[in-house]
Amino acid sequence: MDTSKWIPLSNIRDDEEIWAGARVRLYNVGFNAADKENDYYEYIISYIYDNNNFLQLTNLTTGKAGYVICVIEKDMPNNFASGKTLKHRLSLENTYIKFEFE
């Protein structure tokens, strides 16, 4: 795993701005038991059509693509969610985030 880009979710500040386009990986999910390095589901944070209050985490992993794991409430009136909101919805253990704009 390229640790220079993937940040443990537990290291994210509660007031961090979580924007659409960020990616989240959940490791040790049992998807690829033979190769632990590739044993993860990857999600993208995206807008929800016709819903301005939430963002969704949609799976990008082959075989699971399109599944939504959860929604996170936006920090209204902004178009982002807070780190605290994301940490509340996901386990901190084995969870990493990558900001695409970096």
Q: Is the CB of residue 54 less than 8 Å from the CB of residue 74?
A: yes
16 inside domain: yes
57 inside domain: yes
Which of 29 and 2 is assigned the larger pLDDT? Answer: 29
82 inside domain: yes
Number of domains comprising the chain: 1
Q: If pLDDT is split at 50, 70 and 90, which confidence band does 49 have?
A: very high
The whole-model pTM stands at 0.87
- At residue 1, the pLDDT reads 43
2 inside domain: no
1 inside domain: no
Domain span at residue 43 reads 7-98
38 inside domain: yes
81 inside domain: yes
